[in-house]
Structures are given as structure tokens and as C-alpha cells.
Amino acid sequence: MIIPSIKYWVEQAQAAGCPLWQIVLREEITDNELTQEEIYSRLSVTYAAMKKAAESGLSAHTRSISGMTGGDAAKYYNYIKAGRSMLSDLCSKAVAYALATSECNASMGVIVAAPTAGSAGILPGAYIAAQEIFGFSDKDVCNALLTAAGVGAVISEKASLAGAVCGCQAECGSAAAMTAAGICQLMRGSVQQCIDAAALALKNCLGLACDPVAGLVEVPCVKRNGMYTVFAINAADMALAGIRSFIPFDEVIDSMRRIGMDMPPCIRETGEGGLATTDTGKAAREKIFGRK
């Protein structure tokens, strides 16, 4: 699916008087020669896998092979159940599920890249929590997944979804934008509000470094997923309140690409800068791999 720009996508939706997901669905049917039923069948399998990963990651026994991560999702979920969280039910559950999904990934479990493995918890965290709190159907969530996929497709075409290319702004930043657009849609936001939500999310992730400790997708990735799922919900909430992004989303994406090109390689997933080169980070690498 190649959508040349967000502007094109919005114009198509507004001209047809339909939500964004219908335009993405139309593109998918045309490009991949699939029926609507086949697409929804695939989306249902995808969402089921997301829910299973979140459930699996909530186990207190979840541990990564490196030993750096695991068990934090269970700690946070128990904290919520004890009524101690300062966040809303939506945000606190979103954090728990995002952490759980990311820990499932770190422990070699099956996850859905959304859009990448390193950012796989942000979208499921928000969508699963929203479904539980507001009672959305699986079909509603599948439509939100279509919207998110459309946002990701444009980012991929105009910039990148890879941390090795544009840093973590391309991974967690893109995931936050995708998530924000879908959450806004679930809450019956307009086409423009969904796009503003995505723009607000992405432009406030610009410059985010990708600096995995020991080169593994664990630290700071797991906890970053928990943080950015709330970030995405916040962006959607602001857009639903009528707050606009001063910078159009297409220009935000272009800026992300330019910033990514300006980033030194050491903070683009190489594990050679940022948190990876702290004393603790270097000690972890030596312990795991036997070298500094």
C-alpha cells in the first residue's frame, strides 16, 4: 500500500465523506487484490496476536534471556489492581499492556511489529485498554488498525520506520503517531482530528535517540513503550478537544526524515552512544557478551 502523502489521504476521505479507515481499506483491496472479508480476517488474526502477547507478558515469570528486563509489567498491573495508580483507568491499563507486549518481545515471544518490534507495545497497549474501558468491538479496533496502518505507510514512504535510519523517533515516534490516529478515530474524531492527533504525537518525538543497551531491544525500549502509549492517548485527547497541529503532518514527517539524516550513527540503533555507553550500559554489555 503506497499512499503518497497525508494530504492526499485526507482529501480522498473528505471528498468521499468517509472516515480514514475506509480509504485505507479501499487501497488495500486494490493494491493486494484481496476481498474486504479477507482483509478483516487478517486484521482479526493480527489483533488476536496482540492481545495474546499482552496477556503473556503480564506473567511475573516473563524474563529476557539477557536478564535485563522482565516482570515489570506484572508489577505495574498489580499496582493498578491495588488501586494505587495515579493515572486514569485507560492510561494505566495501556501502560501495563504496552510493557507486557514489549517484555513478551524481549523474552522471544510472538508479537506484532507495530510498526517495529522495538515499538510493538505502544499501539496494542492503547487499543486493548480502550476496548476494555469503552467497550469497542473487535471490528471497531480493526478499523482503527487500518487507520494506523495508513499513517505508518505514509511515514514509511516519506521517511522511515527504522531506528537504524532515523533513530527511535522513527520507531516509537511512528508508533505513537499511528496509535494516536487510531485512538482518535475510536473516539469518533473527525478526519482532521485524527491527522492532528498523529502530527501532535510525532512532532513531539522528533530527535528521539535509538540507543539500546548492549544492542538489545530491551533498555530503554521496554519502558519507553509504556511511556509512549500514554503519550499517544494524550495526543488524541488534545486533538479531540480541538487542538490543531500548527505544522501539517506531512511536514512533520519530512522533518523527522531530515533530523534522522542529521543524527550521528552512534544514536541510530548501533548501541554505540547514549544510554548504551553509560558505565552501567557498558557493564551490561560486557556481562552478556563478554566484551566491552
Model confidence at 9: pLDDT above 70: yes
Q: 176 pLDDT band (50/70/90 cuts)?
A: very high
Q: Tell whether 134 is covered by a domain.
A: yes
Number of domains in the chain: 1
Q: Tell whether 256 is covered by a domain.
A: yes
Each residue's pLDDT tens digit, 185-225: 999 999 999 999 999 999 999 999 999 999 999 999 999 99
Count H helices and E strands in the chain, helices first: 13, 0
Each residue's pLDDT tens digit, 217-238: 999 999 999 999 999 999 999 9
Q: Tell whether 31 is covered by a domain.
A: yes
E strand spans, 92-173: none
Q: 2 pLDDT band (50/70/90 cuts)?
A: low
Each residue's pLDDT tens digit, 128-137: 999 999 999 9
Q: How many CA atoms lie within 13 A of 10 on its CB side?
A: 16
- Mean pLDDT across the chain: 96
Q: How many CA atoms lie within 13 A of 217 on its CB side?
A: 24
Q: 1 pLDDT band (50/70/90 cuts)?
A: low
28-32, 73-77, 266-270: least confident range: 28-32
| Phi, psi for 210 (deg, rounded to 5) | -110, 100
% the chain with pLDDT above 90: 95
Residue 291: what pLDDT?
A: 67
Q: Tell whether 1 is covered by a domain.
A: no
Model confidence at 60: pLDDT above 90: no
Q: Tell whether 224 is covered by a domain.
A: yes
Structural domain harbouring 112: 6-289
- From the list 251, 217, 182, 202, the residue with the least C-alpha distance to 6 is 251
Q: Tell whether 160 is covered by a domain.
A: yes
Q: 11 pLDDT band (50/70/90 cuts)?
A: very high
Q: Tell whether 279 is covered by a domain.
A: yes
Mean pLDDT, to the nearest integer, of 81-90?
98
Each residue's pLDDT tens digit, 252-287: 999 999 999 999 999 999 999 999 999 999 999 999
State how far the Cα of 41 lies from the Cα of 111, in Å rounded to an integer.
18
Residue 61: what pLDDT?
A: 87
Q: Tell whether 213 is covered by a domain.
A: yes
Each residue's pLDDT tens digit, 146-165: 999 999 999 999 999 999 99
